[in-house]
């Protein structure tokens, strides 16, 4: 079974994402900020990370940069999931190591298509 770490400070978003992902046969774990997510990755590398941009403690970008500086293997796919839709934000996320980008709010079809693009659905 494929695994996904959902990283978002919104409990509602984590719950919605979990519901969709479990319906797509993913095992799902959650983190409320980038620091929790980094700790989770150090304990158990997921296949994919669904990552919010704006979070307290450690933002999505800070987490992504820290993750990409580690030598975790295999390297998880990262899908940014955010309300930030400017071209500059998307470019910055991709340059920092994100594999794909999905806008909130998202539905099952949108998320599934992004997971297909990164080779996981």
What are 28-64's pLDDT values in tens digits?
Answer: 999 999 999 999 999 999 999 999 999 999 999 999 9
Half-sphere exposure of 86 (CA within 13 A, CB side): 4
Q: What is the pLDDT of residues 74-98, one digit of tens each?
A: 899 999 998 877 889 889 999 999 9
> Residue 56 in contact with residue 79, Cβ under 8 Å?
no
Instruction: Give the burial string for 5-14 (b: 16+ CB within 10 Å, else e).
Output: bbbbbeeebb
Q: pTM of this prediction?
A: 0.95
Secondary structure of residue 2 in the 3-state scheme: strand
Q: How far apart are CA 83 and CA 52, in angstroms?
A: 9
């Amino acid at each position: 079974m494929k695994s996904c770490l959902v990283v978002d400070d919104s409990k509602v978003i984590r719950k919605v994402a979990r519901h969709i992902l479990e319906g797509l046969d993913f095992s799902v774990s959650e983190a409320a900020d980038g620091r929790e997510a980094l700790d989770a990755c150090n304990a158990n590398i997921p296949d994919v990370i669904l990552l919010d941009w704006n979070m307290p403690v450690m933002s999505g970008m800070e987490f992504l940069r820290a993750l990409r500086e580690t030598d975790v293997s295999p390297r998880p796919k990262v899908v940014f999931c955010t309300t930030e839709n400017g071209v500059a934000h998307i470019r910055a996320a991709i340059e920092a190591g994100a594999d794909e980008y999905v806008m909130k709010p998202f539905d099952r079809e949108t998320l599934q298509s992004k997971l297909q693009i990164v080779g996981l659905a």
